[in-house]
Every structure is written in C-alpha cells, then in structure tokens.
Amino acid sequence: MLFSAMSLEAANWLMLQGTQPDNVAPKGVVGPYRNKMPVVWGFIQANYKQDYGDVFIDPNGVNKTPFSLLNPNLTDQEGFSLFRARLAARGMADNDNKVNYFFMTEFGNNAVNNLAGHDTATYFTDASVTLRHIPGLNARIGMFKTPGSEEGLRAVFVSPYIEFTTMTNQQLLERQVSKVGTAETGKAAGGASTVHYTSTDVTRPIAAFRDMGLELFDTFALGQGWTLSYAYMYGNGSGISHIASDHQATHYGYLALEDNFGAGRGFYTEALKFFVWGQTGKRLLYSTDVNGTTTPVKHDRKRYGIGLSYYQNGLRAEAEYMWAEGMIYTGAKDKDPDPYQEDWQLQFAVGTENKAAGGYLNLQYELLPKQFEVFGRYDFMNRLTNDTKGERDFQTFTLGCSYRFRGPTRIDFNYMIRDAKAPGNAAAQDVLDNMGDRLAIQVTAAF
C-alpha cells in the first residue's frame, strides 16, 4: 500500500516523507485521500561483503587500518550481515488529512544500533507529526530526516548503491560524541598541526541524517511542470540520540527547483531537479586531560551542498558537490594495545579552520526498464586541505548492476575500486597503501 501511494507523487523527498498524498487513484479514478487506517510497511536489507585490503597492526598492537574492515563492527574483512531491518507506520490522524504522522524502527546491524563495535541501540529512527493547516507552510515536529544532501535525504531502499560516498559517509553522516580526551596535534592527530579530539566513550548512535526539531516546508507549482520546494528546520543537533537539549542547536535550509517531464511515478518520475542546502550549528564536547580535569569545548559544525538529478527514458544522472567546515571527522582510532582486539574511538578536527570538500557523479541506465540496470559512480573527498601533513585525499569508483523483482525488492552487485593519498605525509601514505577494493552483494526485500 505504501509504495502505490507514494508512486502518485514525484520523488520529492520532503513531501513523501513528511506528508500523506493529497489524492489517490486506486482504480484509476483520482479522489481525495481520506483513509485513516495506518499504513504499516517495512524492508530488510541483507548483504555479503569482502574487503581486499590489508590489515596493519603497528608494533604497539594498534590497528591502523579501519578502512580495511567492514562496518559497523570494524572487526572482519568478510561476512554476511542483516544490515537494515526497518518497520514503519504512517497515516493521517484526522478526517481532513491535515494531521499526518510517521514512525520508523530499526533492528538491523548498522551504526544506529552498533557504532564502531559499541552498543548504541536506539531502535527508533523516526517519530514525527506534520500539521498541514496553513497553505504553503507545513509544520513537521519530532525526529526525522533533515533537509540536506540528496544522498542522505532519499529513501535508502531505492538506491542500488550499498555504501555511501566517502564525503557523505565521513562528513555528513554524523558520529555523535560528547566525552573526549585531551587536545591532540602532531602524531596523535595523524600529523596535523590543528587541534583534534578523540572520543573516550561511544554511547550515541550515528545521526543517520536525522535530528529532533521543527521543520517548515512545502512545494509550490510554478506552471509548465516546474515546482519549487523549500524547507527550514531548527533542530537540537543531537541526531537520533533522544537528547532534549539545545546546546548543539542546528539550523538546516534547503531549496529545490524541479521540472517534471510528465512521465513515470515515484522514484521513476522523469524529471530534472536542481537543489542547494546548508547546515550550521554548534557541537559541545567535554575534554578530560591526563590530570582528570574536565573542560567543556564548543565548536561550529557547518555543511553545505549543491547538486542536480536527472531521470528520463531509463537514464539517471546525478551530481553533487559538498563542503564542510569544523568538526571534521578524521576516522576511527584503535585505543586498545592488544593486537587481537580493538577499541575503536572517533576522532575529529574541531575548529572551523579545518575543511573538507567532496562530491560524486553517478550514471545509471536501465537495460530492461525498471528491472535490470547497470551503473557507475565516481566519488571523491579531500579532507583537511588546510593542513599539509593532515590532508587525506580519497577517491572511489563503484561499478555494478541491479535486478529488480518488484518495486524496491531487488538484488544489487557493487564493486568498489578505492584509493587514498596523503600528499604531504609519507608515513601516513604507508598506512593508506593497505587500502584495497571491496565487493558487496545485497538483497532488499520490501513489504
């Protein structure tokens, strides 16, 4: 029921995720949507991955190659995983479709419940109510996806790519920490001269492109198939960690201009979309030094992006460029000297002088319409471009194919050709040379 209802709208993620459709056509006759029965739906994604990189343990027993291990546990290079298992309910709570709701749970083995091998289980990823009483201004309250990057905003069950792009994974998919050690520079910071902090306790789930707050949004018809969408959100900046505090208050903004060509439905709506987005907020850390003295430190976190998407006659093309300032995630760091086990903690270059930029270009083509497609994506990220010894440059080519049985139910094959450089740091390059390619096969079953 969900997928047939969703297909009556274009792939406008703001409206699809935040509202129920205005009209339905169950027997080809368009009429107002007035069904108060909750729509219960869900999907499962199970995958197999194998990483072909090398694992390097230094003489102190520390694992220096988390990039050669599989998320979310960061313990193995090969294995099967029930990656996502989500159950959701949505609907309208009144007789006039003015009050909509959306709830979703997560039971899979991913960073929502298991971040870098730490138990961060929260299970609830979405819980929101949308009020639609004012024309041109829908108000959504609760915990839900923030307006932002197309890669993060879209539904994960529609994409044939099994892993996110590097820039999105590292700098948009936020790791939430509060307790950190003392300030680090030099060797402890990967050679960087700017101040880094590493967590001492990982208890919060990954933000999963979500936050808790209030969003104002809507879409306007401009004529001749063109629409304009906007969104502004004020959030706690705490992701899905269920923390009711404004110490990390974050502002989110989004604009999209779309030309609907008139054919297709849902994810297969033939259209051209241009979009721009931005996020800015504070992040509060509590730093404890070697003497046990704890000091609060607060830093800005800024993220921006611009991009486009196109789909027509089986050809899909997408491109997005993103940049980041402050709270730059520099990777998982092993803090356990035992060479046979790891304690992964998360490191950040905190000041706004720390920058990163990256993006992707994606091409997909359906050899059999809406059933069998081939695809290729190039993505890159240049991290800490402000610091000669701290800079790391990543690029990945992902090639694959996908066979869809019905709707989102399908099997995806991905092969990732990965490379990383440390242009100003020979010692870091020796570690990065252990990076290898990766194979992933995933089955998505939707109901």
Does pLDDT of 418 surpass 80? Answer: yes
Query: Taking a C-beta distance cutoff of 8 angstroms, is the pair 71, 166 a contact?
Result: no
What's residue 22's pLDDT? 87
What's residue 8's pLDDT? 33
Confidence of residue 246 (pLDDT cuts 50, 70, 90): confident
What's residue 33's pLDDT? 84
Does pLDDT of 7 surpass 60? Answer: no
For the stretch 58-70, pLDDT in tens is 999 999 999 999 9
Q: Give dist(CA 139, CA 56) in Å, integer.
A: 50
CA angle 288, 290, 296 (to 5 degrees): 20
Q: Give dist(CA 398, CA 438) in Å, integer.
A: 9
Confidence of residue 2 (pLDDT cuts 50, 70, 90): very low
For the stretch 425-436, pLDDT in tens is 999 999 999 999
Which of 12-16, 159-163, 282-286, 427-431 has the weakest average pLDDT? 12-16
The average pLDDT across 403-418 equals 96
Got the DSSP string for 304-318?
EEEEEEEEETTEEEE
What percentage of the chain carries pLDDT values higher than 90? 88
Query: Taking a C-beta distance cutoff of 8 angstroms, is the pair 277, 304 a contact?
Result: yes
Query: Taking a C-beta distance cutoff of 8 angstroms, is the pair 47, 442 a contact?
Result: yes
What pTM, to 2 d.p., does this model score? 0.94
Outline where DSSP puts E strands in 19-173.
23-24, 31-32, 39-51, 78-92, 99-106, 114-115, 118-119, 124-134, 137-145
Which of 122-131, 235-244, 262-271, 417-426 has the weakest average pLDDT? 262-271
Cα dihedral value 187, 189, 193, 194, nearest 10: -160
What's residue 31's pLDDT? 78
**Displacement of CA 359 from its chain's centroid (Å):** 13
Which candidate, 420, 413, 419, places its Cα nearest to that of 384? 420
What's residue 1's pLDDT? 38
Which candidate, 255, 288, 250, 66, places its Cα nearest to that of 174? 250
Q: Measured on CA atoms in the order 59, 65, 66, 69, is the torsion positive or negative?
A: negative
What's residue 175's pLDDT? 96
Distances in Å between the alpha carbon of 6 and those of 61, 113, 170, 314, 385? Answer: 52, 28, 30, 20, 42
Look at strands 271-288 and 179-180 and give their pairing: parallel
The average pLDDT across 221-232 equals 95
What's residue 362's pLDDT? 98
Which candidate, 84, 83, 72, places its Cα nearest to that of 115? 72
Distances in Å between the alpha carbon of 393 and those of 205, 258, 320, 376? Answer: 27, 33, 17, 20
Outline where DSSP puts E strands in 353-422.
355-368, 372-383, 392-406, 409-421
CA angle 165, 117, 385 (to 5 degrees): 40
Does pLDDT of 27 surpass 70? Answer: no
Q: Give dist(CA 50, CA 441) in Å, integer.
A: 9
What's residue 135's pLDDT? 95
Number of residues written out for the chain = 447
What's residue 28's pLDDT? 66
What's residue 177's pLDDT? 94
For the stretch 118-129, pLDDT in tens is 998 888 899 999
Does pLDDT of 319 surpass 60? Answer: yes
For the stretch 342-357, pLDDT in tens is 999 999 999 999 999 9
Backbone torsion region of residue 64, taken as left when φ is above 0, otherwise alpha when ψ lies between -120 and 50, otherwise beta: alpha
Does pLDDT of 259 surpass 90? Answer: yes
Cis amide leading into 59 (omega within 30): no
Looking at per-residue pLDDT, the higher value among 8 and 165 belongs to 165
